Structure 1
């Protein structure tokens, strides 16, 4: 009897064990009927939004109208309540290839990014995840084989640089988008032999560093994490800085004859006294941070603590995070400039992602994933893209914009300030 009872209790767990595929059952549809005999003009519709009468809004506004803000509200609620829409067509099919042991939480968040986009389209779709565990050649090969057997032609693959290199070498016949890797990080010869099936969405950190360093004054002090990419970006910053000046230009050197000081910061480093305290060589320098956000906050607080008198504090995309304002003091951010490549957002997709506890406003990997599924969706469904950011030579061509880290938010650095030369006078 106890065995039978245990089996019955275990049955629901077995039934709901994790699967690698989103349920094949169609999502339930919601239908809204308009029972109001009177027409609702724009003022009336705005009043419905203000009073959160969502279903009345959908009933009175079954189709898009000229008012863009009302249309955006309508699309948000259509996606939220899965309203049966007028768009009917062949379903689109996407696969996610996930090395979940390597990418951790991004296995879930990139899946949510794709799902939020597809739900907002209000069209039949199939989304299947292939959890391959690691980025070993055998695991990737097995995942690609499964994708091929199920006849998927569009694949989103959030891989590391190492996994991406392996993936390119295997030369799959499907179209693969890698939101986490920039094309510049992949061997050009391997790409040429892959027959153009790969698309890349990784941020161009080199372009960000180049634009940041344009505003640097000597000496340039670089703090970077101890990784292969961190070392590479440190070298890129040094080269970009030195290119600003001729070899004989004294402005590129400090009083000690040094142009650049670079310090690797490992995970255990919590005190920079040995670097910053009473170090006259670093006084009034430009500090470039290419470190994780928490580590950057630690560095910024100690720049203030040890009176480094930083002329500027520069940060790449890693610094563009709303959490920055929670973990740093306004004084630490007083001269901070952040490079960002997340451009104008689609409000409907932002809200759809929030419903799934997902962030595409500050998390660049989720944002890049959204750009990739948007591009593939336009190819698969033959519809216009939601985003205007171009794909050039198989790479998302991100803009680079500079922001001040203000009291409570990031403020766009306008063109007039950039043209003036000194940003902090």
Structure 2
């Protein structure tokens, strides 16, 4: 049985009634003490990571036994973010990297913001859990201006890299489609092919298909439809998909940030209609609760991936969501990948960008690197995009359950 001793020295600050003085005693520190016998080499450390044994990994880690990916993981888990090797754009693979496959990650961090960490953590999760022989370099372009992307692509080419994961918006993807080297293969996890409509055979897209999700949801509806949306770009896109695929829309109501009471939008039509919620979770919660307060009972609530999150189960009372249908395109995730992601604080089961990123690097590495590695994800590439298996879910009191 593995035993880990964690020594934590907690020193309080003493506060006095009239004078406040900071203690001269050094601040609290955490040390991970290895009391197990034997040396834990890179394979041993890898097994601890794959098994989700975070504290064992932290206590048994030795820099001399680790490759750079394990060193990165240790730095992140121990809070020593400044020691991360890969995120500055340095070699991230095994320390003997002469035969490593080179993969670039192009991140316009000022544009995609928090998704920068989602993408990097998903890549770490895949690379560490699969123990692949790869050097990962991160290229931080800042934004998606032509100059920034041109400079990043030039540097990637100078570094001799032909496999690129690029979490971009539509503007960045269009630049890549028009200006990329046809011998360089790109995977864009943040967009569906329909958003750009151009690939030239060297660009693959990992974004989920919201239109497929809308069509699947509409299969559950045989009534008039009332749409609630927040006026965002995504909401307008979803509204369009609903209206293209259904002739039953009788009303569209916008919910702004003030979340004003919806009394004037709720009437007798609701009891004979389905409500399509093209809203983020906080506004979905608000709308469902407002409808419930007004004693209206729609036949069904319909919503896409944007509301597939554990928080929905606690933020909306079960009685108000018994007739809620949610589309989800996230399927099987290998346990070693999900365990590693969990160590990094990433719940891949509910984050489609992370899921798409892991599928993308799996596809690029297994298909184009010459490493002769079998893919671990089931999704296939159809044309220039991932073909997802979209399922419709309902909720119990405590979890989501598929119904098709």
Deviates more, 1:230-239 or 1:329-338: 230-239
Change (3 A) 1:52 1:320: closer
Aligned residue among 290, 295, 306 for 1:302: 290
Structure 2: distance between partners of 1:52 and 1:296: 36
1:352 aligns with 2:344: no
Contact 2:54 2:343 in 1 (8 A): no
User: Shift in Å at residue 221 of structure 1?
Assistant: 0.8
Within 5 Å, which residues of 2 pair with 1:20-59?
A: 29-30=41-42
User: Shift in Å at residue 89 of structure 1?
Assistant: 9.8
Task: Specify the alignment match of 2:186 in structure 1.
Answer: 176
Task: Specify the alignment match of 1:289 in structure 2.
Answer: 277
Task: Specify the alignment match of 2:218 in structure 1.
Answer: 213
1:377 aligns with 2:365: yes
Structure 2: distance between partners of 1:120 and 1:282: 49
1:145 aligns with 2:192: no
Task: Specify the alignment match of 2:107 in structure 1.
Answer: 98
**1:360-394 CA distance string (max 9 Å, x none):** 11000000001001101102122110011100102
SS of the equivalent of 1:402 reads strand
Contact 1:219 1:261 in 2 (8 A): no
Within 5 Å, which residues of 2 pair with 1:7-406?
A: 29-30=41-42, 90-173=99-182, 174-187=184-197, 190-191=198-199, 194=200, 196-242=201-247, 259-276=249-266, 279-379=267-367, 380=369, 381-406=371-396
Change (3 A) 1:232 1:331: same
Change (3 A) 1:164 1:270: farther
**1:14-34 CA distance string (max 9 Å, x none):** xxxxxxxxxxxxxx94466xx
User: Shift in Å at residue 359 of structure 1?
Assistant: 1.9
Structure 2: distance between partners of 1:384 and 1:232: 36
Query: Which residues of structure 2 form unaligned runs of 5+?
Result: 1-39, 45-50, 58-69, 75-93
SS of the equivalent of 2:320 reads coil
**1:141-162 CA distance string (max 9 Å, x none):** 1111111111111111111122
Contact 2:169 2:190 in 1 (8 A): yes
**1:207-236 CA distance string (max 9 Å, x none):** 100110111132201112313442232122
User: Shift in Å at residue 303 of structure 1?
Assistant: 1.7
Contact 1:270 1:298 in 2 (8 A): no
Aligned-pair Cα RMSD in Å: 2.8
SS of the equivalent of 2:152 reads helix
Query: Which residues of structure 1 form unaligned runs of 5+?
Result: 1-27, 33-48, 56-76, 243-251, 253-258, 415-425
Structure 2: distance between partners of 1:387 and 1:275: 44
Structure 1: distance between partners of 2:290 and 2:345: 33
Structure 2: distance between partners of 1:170 and 1:270: 46
By percentage of residues, which structure has more strand?
2
User: Shift in Å at residue 80 of structure 1?
Assistant: 8.7
SS of the equivalent of 2:397 reads coil
Q: How many residues align?
A: 322
User: Shift in Å at residue 205 of structure 1?
Assistant: 0.4
User: Shift in Å at residue 163 of structure 1?
Assistant: 2.1
Contact 2:153 2:180 in 1 (8 A): no
Structure 1: distance between partners of 2:280 and 2:326: 14
TM-score, normalisation: structure 2 = 0.74
